[in-house]
Structure formats: structure tokens, C-alpha cells
Amino acid sequence: MLRFAPSPTGDMHIGNLRVAIFNYIVSKQKNENLIVRIEDTDKERNIEGKDQEILQILGLFGIEYSQVIYQSQNLRFHSAMALQLLHDKKAFSCFCSPEWLDKKREEAKTDKKAYRYDGACENLPDELVIDNMNPFTIRIKQPSEAITVKDHIKGEVAFNPAEVDSFIIMRQDKTPTYNFACAVDDMLSDISLVIRGEDHMSNTPKQDHIRSSLRYDKKIEYAHLPIILNDDGKKMSKRDDASSVKWLLEEGFLPSAITNYLILMGNKPPKEIFTMAEAIEWFNLDNISKAPARFNLDMLKHINREHLKMLDAKELSRYVGFADAEIGEVARIYLEEVRTTKELKAKIEPIFAPKIIPAEFEEQAKIMAVTIKNAPYFEEYEDFKNHIMKESGLKGKNFFKPLRLLLTGAEHGPDVAEVYKYLKNYIGEIVK
Ligand code: GLU
């Protein structure tokens, strides 16, 4: 079983989408199910409706999953596991107040040392614990030996016991901490491989330690994906528009193209343009580069155009608001100039909109519009052109400029003869 575990705390970041895509591909390759676990235990950061938005995005990208689990529904299991650890003396109650712990943290900072729990409550006699009316947290005892994490991308990384520390697994309000909930849930769902962002690397030994303290000996495999950098070489953050999946979709990037690019980044694929189904054939986590991947919007635009070219004419027309193969063919001509569906729409819409004619050609355009409206249907552009030229008496620039403006709604663009081929049945709607 694999899992994608988003937090419903904001717009989906492309880094998260990349994690979801990789999980999906590997689940297909391993023929194992993929579950979605909504990590909703941080009540203050949760944003209403984000869970549904995430699921919609997964649907749009063709990422199928067998089940959706809400982490908050597992709270009783988290408490039960904490109790088991206390019972086995693998965990202890800690009465240190938050203020006291903050003070200790400050001291460590002043001494330029990494903060570690000082073990004050680890060996309290049971009588002191039972009689203590103060609020308490539950801490897991730090491991006695180093923990080595084997990662498909990072290789082997060892963490010494002090780095893992005796950390809190249940807060004073009896809610589990993030690492505890995550470790227990991965165990309950029988996860075999965790693919996630490298910002979670330091959590991994803690989560492994929780499970081995619970005597769960299945070894979960890991793959921590390197971060994504923006064009300036900085970590892509909310300030970068392109980091938001929603923004990319609104800008007119196809899900298939975004998927292609997120798989291509920092990878060694056999070709540049491919579909998710093709990637399932050859994708290998071990080929993902250890170095951060750099996001390049221009590259994504290039890939997007290639994916737009792969659509059949009718499908393409849908992206510009029609359901008509001929309009799709016109759109295909404009693909020479543009790379997103938003840009494509901006080319096709003016064709059917009332025309804005520069003053210089206003008179000629009026004459030409009347001529076109009175003209019969012509199969060939040459015949159409000759007829309009003859009937309107217009020549040269005075003929070609207004003709282009009336037929395409723009002063510049592709060969009018090419466009006419697909628009000839719509002349009545275009020149009104
Ligand atoms: N909820 C975490 C996040 O969105 C992911 C945790 C995990 O994959 O283990 O970053």
C-alpha cells in the first residue's frame, strides 16, 4: 500500500502534486493500492474545503486512489498506541511546562547548541507520576542506537540517538503530535513505501523509532524527493505563482503537460514528451536526481504546446470554448504562435467577436463586410478572394488588411488562406 498524505492547509503546491504523481505511478508499477490520507489534525491551520479541492485536483490529473482517510478519525488509535508505549515503559509522562521548555530552548540557542530534552521526567518514580495533578505530555524514550534510513534517492542516512531525542508524541491536550499520528497511521494502513518531500527527511528516524518501539518490524521503504527551486535558484514558495497547481491550470496548462514536466524534472526519461501511462512503463525512483530540481516555466510552456498538438481537433476546440473539429483545426494553426489554452482562447475569441477596425481601414472594411455578406459560398479561398476583390473594387493593402481584420479579428497572424480552409462554413457568423 502506498499513500499520499496532504495537509488541507492551502492551495496545492506543485511539489505536493509531484509527490502524488510519483506515488500513483509506483502504486501502478507495484500493483498496490494508493490511499489518500488527509492530515487534518492541525485544526488551526486547516482550511475548510481544501480537502475537496485536493481530491478534485487528483481527479483532474487522473490519479486514482482506493480510499480517502481523515487522520482525525484515527485519534482513538493514536491514544491506544501511546498507552501501549507507556505500559511497555517505552514512553513516559513529562510534566515540564511549556515555559520551562522554552527557557531551555533559549539557553541552548545562547550556547549555540542543538536543543535536546534533558531527560528530567524520564525516570520519575510512579508515585510522583500518579499524584501529580499537573498537565503532562507523553514522550517516547530516545533510541539506544543510531537509526539508519535507507532512501531510494538519498541513499543511506544515519541519525544518532540524540538527534532523534526523547520527543513528545502526545500533547497536554491529549492530541497526537504530527510524527506520532503519521507513524501510527502508516503502520495501520500497512504502507510499504513512503514517497514524500525531503523536508520530511528528519522526521523519518522518529517515525521509524515510534514503530519499532511498538514492536512493528515491517521495514517501510522511503523516497524523499528533492525540493523544487524557482528561476532564481530559491525554494519555490507561495510567492511564486507557478508553485500553485490552481494557478497553472488557470493559466491554461494541461494536466497532462504539467504531469509530463513534473516527471521530467531531475529525472532521466527515455524521451521528453510522454503521457503518464507511458511513464508507468519506465519510471524508476532510483533515477531521480539528489540535487534540487529547477522549475522553468518556459520549458513547461514548450511541453504544453506539444501536448496541445497531441489532442484531436474536437478536443482542442473544447479548450477554446467550442465543440467543433473545424474550430479545433483553426486553433491548431494558432499553436504555432501560442503555448497555453488561455493564449489560444485569446486568439480564437476575436474571430467571432464584433471587430475593432482601425480608423484607417474603417471605410474599406464597411464595403468589404457588405460584399462578403452578399457573396455566395466558395469552397476555395482563391475563388472567395477573387470574388470579393472584384465586387468590392478594393486592392492591395486596402483589400488585404480589412480582409484579415474581418476574418480573424487581428492585424497580424497566420496565412488567411489557411484559416479560410476551416472557417469557410462560418463566414456568416464571423462577418456580421
Ligand atoms: N502532510 C504532510 C505534508 O503535506 C506530508 C506528510 C507525509 O507525507 O508523511 O507535507
| CA 87 to ligand 1 centroid distance, Å | 29
State the residue for C-alpha cell 518531500: 197
Q: Give the pLDDT band (50/70/90) at residue 80.
A: very high
Residues with Cβ within 6 A of ligand 1? 5-7, 39, 182, 196, 200
Residue 189 alpha carbon to ligand 1 centre in Å: 15
What's the pLDDT at 131?
86
Q: What is the pLDDT of residue 293?
A: 94
Q: What is the per-residue pLDDT across 356-389, written as a single tens digit (0 to 9) for each?
A: 999 999 999 999 999 999 999 999 999 999 999 9
Residue 86's nearest CA partner among 216, 213, 188 is 213
Amino acid 108 reads: A
CA of 101 from ligand 1 middle (Å) equals: 26
Of the chain, the percentage scoring pLDDT greater than 90 comes to: 96
Nearest CA to ligand 1 atom 5: 5
The pLDDT tens digits of the residues spanning 85-113 come to 999 999 999 999 999 999 999 999 999 99
Task: Tell me the average pLDDT across 420-427.
Answer: 96
Q: What is the pairing mode between strands 137-140 and 168-170? A: antiparallel
For 310-369, the pLDDT digits (tens) are 999 999 999 999 999 999 999 999 999 999 999 999 999 999 999 999 999 999 999 999
Task: Tell me the CA–centroid distance for residue 54 and ligand 1, in Å.
Answer: 13
Indicate whether 432 pLDDT > 90: no
**Atom 4 (ligand 1) nearest CA:** 6
Determine which residue's CA is closest to atom 6 belonging to ligand 1. 5
Q: How much is the average pLDDT of 234-241?
A: 92
- Residues 228-310: name the CATH superfamily: Glutamyl-trna Synthetase; Domain 2 (1.10.1160.10)
Q: Which fold has domain 354-430?
A: Arc Repressor Mutant, subunit A (1.10.10)
User: What's residue 141's pLDDT?
Assistant: 98
pLDDT score of 43: 86
Closest atom of ligand 1 relative to the 16 alpha carbon: 4
Percent of the chain having pLDDT more than 70?
100
Q: Averaged over 218-228, what is the pLDDT? A: 96
